[in-house]
């Protein structure tokens, strides 16, 4: 039996909806830069927090952020608007989970919502022994979820390639 087969046989499969998480907050002046828009670092903190909640909902274990794979800022969020985030597990490997996060702004006076950013992160589940733990597989239910699931292997390959390039660069610095 291969590791992949053992992983598949040993774990339950959870629907993406089991991890779907929503968060909304009001953007106030202390959250903003000199342009009156939310600090990028503040958005990054929200993304990491909601992604960790989605990951823990999926595996019901403590998790750590393994990588922030991408964060694309598409439009600003202004003071007085709400920041709305949605995150869900898109794909799992043995002990890791890829999480997608959608970031939107909402004009609370008009109800207009805009997509302002997207992000992918990778989290690793941690067992009681402090080591990486197996996570449930994920079953995408909607067309959007299936698209994220079907394209996850390509994103994982890019992550592994970047990790390999960093390792090579570090080895060259040592020599």
113-125/63-73 β-pairing: antiparallel
Give the domain CATH number at 51. Answer: 3.10.129.10
The first and second tokens of residue 76, run together, are 């600003």
- Provide the pLDDT for residue 4: 43
- Provide the pLDDT for residue 67: 92
Number of other CB atoms surrounding residue 134 within 10 Å = 17
The domain of 17 spans 3-174
Domain tally, the chain: 1
CA pair distance 88, 52, nearest whole angstrom: 10
Tens of each residue's pLDDT in the chain, 175 residues: 344 444 544 568 999 999 999 999 999 999 999 999 999 999 999 999 999 999 999 999 999 999 998 999 999 999 999 999 999 999 999 999 999 999 999 999 999 999 999 999 999 999 999 999 999 999 999 999 999 999 998 998 888 777 767 777 777 777 6
Residues 6+ apart with CB under 8 A from 100: 87, 88, 90, 118, 119, 120, 148
82-92/21-26 β-pairing: antiparallel
């Amino acid at each position: 039996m291969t590791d992949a087969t053992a992983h598949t046989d040993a774990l339950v499969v959870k629907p993406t909806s089991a991890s779907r998480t929503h968060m909304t907050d009001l953007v106030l002046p202390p959250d903003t830069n000199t342009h009156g828009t939310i600090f990028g670092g503040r958005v990054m903190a929200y993304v990491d927090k909601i992604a960790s909640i989605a990951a823990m909902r999926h595996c019901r274990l403590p998790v750590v952020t393994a990588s922030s794979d991408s964060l694309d800022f598409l439009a600003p969020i202004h003071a007085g608007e709400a920041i709305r985030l949605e995150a869900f597990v898109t794909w799992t490997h043995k002990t890791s989970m890829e999480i997608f996060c959608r970031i939107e702004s909402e004009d609370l006076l008009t109800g207009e919502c805009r997509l302002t950013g997207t992000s992918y992160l990778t989290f690793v589940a941690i067992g009681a022994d402090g080591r990486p733990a197996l996570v449930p597989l994920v079953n995408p239910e909607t067309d959007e979820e299936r698209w994220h699931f079907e394209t996850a292997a390509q994103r994982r390959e890019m992550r592994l390639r970047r990790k390999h390039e960093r390792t090579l660069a570090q080895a060259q610095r040592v020599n």
